Structure 1
Amino acid sequence: MTKKIVITGVGATSPLGGTVAESWAALLAGESGARSLEHEWVSKYELPVTFAAEAKVRPEEVLERPVAKRLDPSSQFALISAMEAWADAGAPEVAPERLGVDFATGIGGVWTLLDAWDTLRERGPRRVMPMTVPMLMPNAAAAAVSMHFHARAFARTVASACASSTESLVSAYEHLQLGLADVIIAGGTESAIHPITVAAFSSMQALSRRNDDPATASRPYSVDRDGFVMGEGAASLVLETEEHARARGARIYAELAGGGVSADSYHITANDPEGRGASRAVQQALAAAGAVPDDVTHINAHATSTPVGDIAEFTALKTVFGDRITEIPVSATKASTGHLLGGTGALEAVFSILAIRDRIAPPTINLTTQDPEIPLRVSGEAQPLGDGAQLVVSNSFGFGGHNAVAAFRSV
């Protein structure tokens, strides 16, 4: 029998705020998290892009120093968001062997890795920290969350670029269906706003270069879009079977109704222009949810603001929804948050859940002149979703041809 999987807690630390409530309020207010970078390395390396969407609240302001010093920033963000989600879920009493962690990252501890390399070159091997490897490994965030909450069912890590944390949600859904845990903390994190990544993404022409106006740089679907804005932060969700949640009297936000994962097998960085893998992932998510395209009331799109990527996603959505795609309210929230890479899917999942709770599709800022080749129903103002049953689809696509889609339903 298929179990109903529900969300009972959410947490986030993002470029818009240090909590879910702060991030959601700023998103609805049309704020941008993109700002000029105030680091000496920007001018030192003469970076062509001088802005990004850094987390609004630094992790050292939240975590105790002994905890923070043993974690890469990516793991720090993960733990902060997980702590908020766990408290929001009412700190459920669950046997450690029945509590699991599915936590993702796209890159992992890049700051730890490159700081250690600098230390080795400048000061020699004896000065490299003994905790370097445990801090830089991609599974460090999942491990930190697992150890903090004594989660012993499993602590699994997905690393599928920008699809990572949505894929972790799909994995958590499957693991709960299989009975491997009663409660799972799932999500994703990233802290990769580093000179090497800024330089590398710039080199491949992926980043917007609107250095004179960072707040308007990310502009999905606009005819003058010129690339994405790097972001950082993390988001977490507490997932459990409905039976377990109701038995403990938990507040339920929504149902994780299903998910889909596919691969393009097309190009290491470019989307399949026909959107075949992406459309297949959407169809899989709807099938798992026992739903049809006409049931969908809102879409949180991947929408990175790249000239090619936005069109490829529209093509995929048109394949699934046909002409009705122009009627479904769509939000492109990266316009406000920037692109959190491996953490972005989890943050957009939180936004999708809150859209269901508040019956509102958040605005897409910076939409100047909409590209006529992408005739989606997208607006610079929040769009009401109505009082009926809601089914929201959240898309994430990553380098390597990874596609992951989650579907959330009102309860």
Structure 2
Amino acid sequence: MTSPDEFREHVRAWCVANIPTDWRATQTGASEAEFVAFQKAWFAELHAAGFAVPHWPAEWGGGMPVDEQIVLYSELAAHDAPRLVLAFVGIHHAASTLLVAGTDEQRRRHLPAILDGEIWVQGFSEPEAGSDLASLRTTARREGDTFVVDGQKLWASGGLHADWCLLLARTDPGAPKRDGISYFLMDMTSPGVEVRPIRNAVGDSHFCEIFLDGVEIPAANLIGTENQGWQVAQATLGAERGMTMLELTERLANAGFRRLVQACSPITDARVADRLAQFEIEIAGLRGLCRDLVLSHDTGGVGAADASVVKLFYSELLQRMTDFGAEIGGLAAHTTLVKPASSGWESGAWVLDFIGSWEWTIPGGASEIQRTIIAERGLGLPREPSSV
């Protein structure tokens, strides 16, 4: 068993030897094919080192203690490692769903494939079902051993390159909103699946629309019980949020804040120093919350609103930090029109990062939804009246 200091030194040495020093230059303005090839190669490097899925159970290639995961993510961020953009849904959301609610056959089929580079997309949101996800209209009707799916999904990040999709569809139109939804694994090469990229405000096209026209999904690809997909989605993705936030928070603390301090270094105004000190305090608090959430998840002690607290704190802190970076960057920051394709929301291209930060206050439950969850489930306040 290695000591914490020995593990940190091991990770640092690996970072120095393996993180490509020119990745920012090569990924700035990269084509879709270049981006995909780089992402798959980088994932393979991390997997070979045992760093790709540290949060998975040991039997599936993970088993790293939480303390070591924190060290790993902090060192990767400190050494400016690229983000696993394409693999993110697969190693977090898909894996969590399979581990908690999948069958043995589904786990054997997909978990090793994810480690071999299988790309996943999340097919949850729809044009009229975003924060109110239970209003989704995509339907799946059973015909023998097959479900036939019709509908549309929106804001599907990475959908253009995905091999498989985590899909929510309504299987009982007559049931109350949350009671008639089922959870599926959908092969993106199935006939009737059409993916259209959406160009966003910063010029990226990682968001996609997915159109489903008579798509057949084998009943063997149903996750959990028919009509109980809402419960599966809440149980698996809510618990997993702590793991994803652990990595993102370390990147914000190590990479994002460091770049912000560097951008402010020529400025001697005391007000700037005060803002930096406030950000540092907030980051320390966020890191503590993330650590507690992950540890509580391991011991089964996660509170009903804990994940919402962390998500809300992170997304709005990210927004404030990138806003301040854009302010400090001045006119020069507004002339940066592209950032590295494999970077995160704290790349240092401040205006683009700030625009992108608004994404985080919307998906996974908008900030208003998170506040409602915190109020009702965390603080026990009266529920808001329903219009339905």
TM-score interval, smaller chain: under 0.3
* Structure exhibiting the larger radius of gyration computed from Cα positions: 2
Compare the two structures and name the one with the higher strand fraction. Answer: 1
User: TM-score, normalised on structure 1?
Assistant: 0.25
Higher relative contact order (CA 8 A, sep 6+): 1
User: TM-score, normalised on structure 2?
Assistant: 0.26
